[in-house]
Amino acid sequence: MNIGIFGGTFDPIHKGHLALALRARAQCKLSRVYFVPTNFPPHKTSQPVAAYCHRYAMTALATAGEKTFVPSQLEAPPSALRTESSARGHILRPNYTIDTVRKLKQELNKSDRLFFLIGIDAFRDIAKWHEPDALFQECDFIVASRPGYSLAYVANVLPEKLRPREELTRPFAKEPAKGDLVLAGVSMHLIDDLNLHISATAIRLALAGKRSITRMVPESVEEYIKKEGLYREEGEASPQRR
């Protein structure tokens, strides 16, 4: 089977995330898509993030209407470790995507093919991720692109060992990032026409400014945010965002 894994902070999960998962499911014939909220994202250590329990709850609510969408706790925080580490003033080890992917693959059949879903903005920094070369060996990538990105750009931000020579990518500098990109050690599927200009940052800012987020998140997620009082003051660490 083809299996999707969609990892992210999901702070909060929104309609853009769901649109990508739906398109990826159809385009790559995914039997399941695992949504994995990150416990301790390594790239967001300097900014407040809503508590894992809230982000997981919103993910579960957002995916409840699709039987093939599975909210996963692959990166659920180890409570005892968190308490002990906090008491000693230690910093917890970040969750690395390669570890999560390998953990999921242990639960799948050897014949299953794994696809990793990601947006182009996050993909731009893929070479800086932990063990990026190994990550491309473990799974295919499904990347949600946007206008302004070319096939050459996508190829040139790959990890150095997987990056083709510049003279090979130059002819594709004006080719939009769409379709399949297959290189030595890399298999990617580019989705270029979702046309959903939604971001978690914009949602949090809208909530802080007491503006509507109805068009950006599922109704169940909006209700949960209001009930729990999340994101009332964006940029400040409230009790809900520690």
Q: Which residues contact 209 (CB under 8 A, 6 or more apart)?
A: none
> pLDDT tens-digit profile of 127-185?
999 999 999 999 999 999 988 999 999 999 999 999 999 899 999 999 999 999 999 99
C-alpha distances in angstroms, 67 versus 38, 112, 118, 156? 22, 19, 21, 37
Return the closest-CA partner of residue 8 out of 102, 153, 116: 116
Give the tokens for residue 143.
């990347």
Q: How confident is the model at residue 90 (pLDDT cuts 50, 70, 90)?
A: very low
Tokens 């914009």 locate to: 202
Query: Is residue 44 scored above 70 in pLDDT?
Result: no
Tell me, what's the pLDDT at 80?
38
Query: Is residue 236 scored above 60 in pLDDT?
Result: no
Q: How confident is the model at residue 232 (pLDDT cuts 50, 70, 90)?
A: confident
What length is written for the chain? 242
Tell me, what's the pLDDT at 88?
37
> pLDDT tens-digit profile of 49-79?
899 999 999 999 999 999 999 999 998 887 5
pTM given for the model: 0.88
Query: Is residue 45 scored above 70 in pLDDT?
Result: no
Query: Is residue 234 scored above 60 in pLDDT?
Result: no
C-alpha distances in angstroms, 240 versus 14, 113, 191, 210, 225? 19, 37, 34, 17, 11
Contact status, residue 27 vs residue 188, Cβ threshold 8 Å: no
Tell me, what's the pLDDT at 4?
98
**Domain residue ranges in the chain:** 2-197
Return the closest-CA partner of residue 59 out of 221, 226, 227, 239: 221
Query: Is residue 43 scored above 70 in pLDDT?
Result: no
Q: Determine the Cα–Cα distance for residues 85 and 65; give it in Å rounded to an integer.
A: 37
Tokens 């409570």 locate to: 79
Residue with the bigger pLDDT between 82 and 176: it is 176
Tell me, what's the pLDDT at 42?
65
Tell me, what's the pLDDT at 46?
58
Tell me, what's the pLDDT at 79?
58
Average pLDDT over residues 232-239: 53
Residue 45 β-bridge partners: none
Average pLDDT over residues 211-235: 91
Residue with the bigger pLDDT between 28 and 81: it is 28
Query: Is residue 240 scored above 70 in pLDDT?
Result: no
Give the tokens for residue 108.
């799948």
* Helix, strand, coil % in the chain, rounded to nearest 5: 40, 15, 40
DSSP run (H or E) holding 64: none
Give the mean pLDDT of the chain. 88
Q: Determine the Cα–Cα distance for residues 83 and 216; give it in Å rounded to an integer.
A: 35
Inter-axis angle of helices 219-228 and 52-62, nearest 10: 150
CATH superfamily of 2-197: HUPs (3.40.50.620)
> pLDDT tens-digit profile of 16-27?
999 999 999 999
